[in-house]
Structure 1
């Protein structure tokens, strides 16, 4: 049992409440769609005195080139303290999950991993299969938007923090761009031959070789890394070819559950215009705009409190405990 202290502002009260609550955390291995490969996951349950039966369940994963150790525990802890169960998982080939080659991003596989964990959660007797919530941030925010539009998933609600919606800054046509393009081509050839991928950094400084090189991205990404766990700042170069064709905002008209988007209006990594388009396309989208940058919403950053408060208020409205 782990005890935490949270300061939460709820819409039902003008007061800022300070509450000490507890939750239980355990480790899981969930069989993926690929035989022999397991997804590594953490399960969070509210304290026994906070548990309703069955519990609403939130399924969570991280974004581009990231893993669950990079700040997701703080969200899951807050949700569990408020009475929600959570399963936080790593995709195949990432974090503590199985899969080779390592650090290769395949959008189809990541969406399939979400579906695998959703199916697992719905099979557990302690969780309410009709009250399943999707959660994502940055690139996993793209996945929650996409899955919220999938009638077969049938989520009761979805939350996307600083999501990728299909709009990102174009890479400048410079020497670094040519090196990245060459690395991606070589990576395709090597992986096609069963050889080790060609890797580039996930995050790097502007005008250098890397997948994400906008101003402040490297420092922001490294700031959310666990100080106790080494972060492997690498991704297969051809993973970048997955991005242009992935357009979650194109699914907006099909979203069939309440969708919260917490939008940092100064985001220079996942451009805000896509989230605004989604909010104008479907009445099911609630857009909460916060004047800050992409990484400012994460735990320990300047605007985390606003983001988590918006998420808890959204849950209280649409999936009350």
Structure 2
């Protein structure tokens, strides 16, 4: 059985190591001999590589750009425990190791690497672009900019009840330190998640094969990446395109874009946070593809 170390590069399933974990994904190459530029792609909070990303990769491959998508640690086809836990710092390692794998492939031009992320993945690519100068082009779609206690509590389903959120978060951390199982919360919350519910219900059985409808409570822990606005100016000279939805509920997106330096571009699409996966999908994909064609 091939391992992450000796598995041949090909169009199809790939795997690589990240902090000793096997991270699994998909590689698609354009027609022709190559070598090709490449875009590395990953989804948002609790989301999987099968959601929307294949359509983005289709568009990239059509214009001669390879695409590599992957599941973060603890999710989908990738290793990691506990399952369905967003590892905020580990995700950044997964991104950088995905880039390392991509640039090791003989079919790829290592100096021509772009990254595409959406929602929480949209925040990830902003951070990775600062950390890793191998990144030459960035597309950040509907990024989560501010991860405060208030934002995290609301996304976890606690509303404005910060006291209960912080108490249960601490209780869960203590229980886990004593060897007990993690606490889970529903991915789609009972109230306030109507748009997310509609999006999930519209996915196919194949897209939902690794989805079990929950995330660990520790997914919503506070992190030191409270507000990525402060380092937006450090992404330059990598060209940055930010794709935003007019009615997105996430705060701070336009302010963060204003802090970025040239070269940069802002594209607005109609709808809410999920519209780039739904009614504004074609427009969003074209905006991303055009940017990568221009700069890769």
TM-score bracket, normalised by the shorter chain, equals 0.7 to 0.9
Q: Per the alignment, in what secondary structure is the counterpart of residue 146 of structure 2?
A: coil
Deviations 1:219-258, CA, capped at 9 Å, x for gaps: 23x1463323342221111221135743222211101200
Match of 1:225 among 203, 224, 234: 203
Tell me if 1:296 matches 2:275: yes
Separation of aligned partners in 2, 1:185 and 1:218: 28
Tell me if 1:309 matches 2:295: no
Gaps of 5+ in 2: 1-9
Tell me if 1:111 matches 2:96: no
Separation of aligned partners in 2, 1:96 and 1:161: 24
CA RMSD of aligned residues (A): 2.3
Say whether the 8 Å CA contact 2:234–2:260 is kept in structure 1: no
Separation of aligned partners in 2, 1:41 and 1:174: 35
Aligned to 2:72: 91
Q: CA 1:46 to 1:193, structure 2 compared with 1: closer, same or farther past 3 Å?
A: same
Separation of aligned partners in 2, 1:252 and 1:153: 14
Aligned to 2:5: none
Aligned to 2:31: 47
Separation of aligned partners in 2, 1:262 and 1:167: 19
- Tell me the TM-score normalized by structure 1: 0.79
Output aligned runs, 1:8-157, within 5 Å. 25-34=11-20, 37-48=21-32, 51=33, 53-150=34-131, 152-157=132-137
1:143 Cα deviation (Å)? 0.7
Judge which range, 222-231 or 186-195, deviates more: 222-231
- Tell me the TM-score normalized by structure 2: 0.86
Q: Per the alignment, in what secondary structure is the counterpart of residue 232 of structure 1?
A: coil
Gaps of 5+ in 1: 1-23, 207-212
Q: CA 1:219 to 1:183, structure 2 compared with 1: closer, same or farther past 3 Å?
A: farther
Match of 1:277 among 256, 260, 279: 256
Say whether the 8 Å CA contact 1:183–1:238 is kept in structure 2: no
1:291 Cα deviation (Å)? 2.4
Q: Per the alignment, in what secondary structure is the counterpart of residue 29 of structure 2?
A: strand
Say whether the 8 Å CA contact 1:70–1:224 is kept in structure 2: no
Q: CA 1:31 to 1:196, structure 2 compared with 1: closer, same or farther past 3 Å?
A: same
Q: CA 1:297 to 1:33, structure 2 compared with 1: closer, same or farther past 3 Å?
A: same
Aligned to 2:4: none
Q: CA 1:223 to 1:77, structure 2 compared with 1: closer, same or farther past 3 Å?
A: farther
Say whether the 8 Å CA contact 2:232–2:259 is kept in structure 1: no
Q: Per the alignment, in what secondary structure is the counterpart of residue 131 of structure 1?
A: strand
Say whether the 8 Å CA contact 1:185–1:238 is kept in structure 2: no
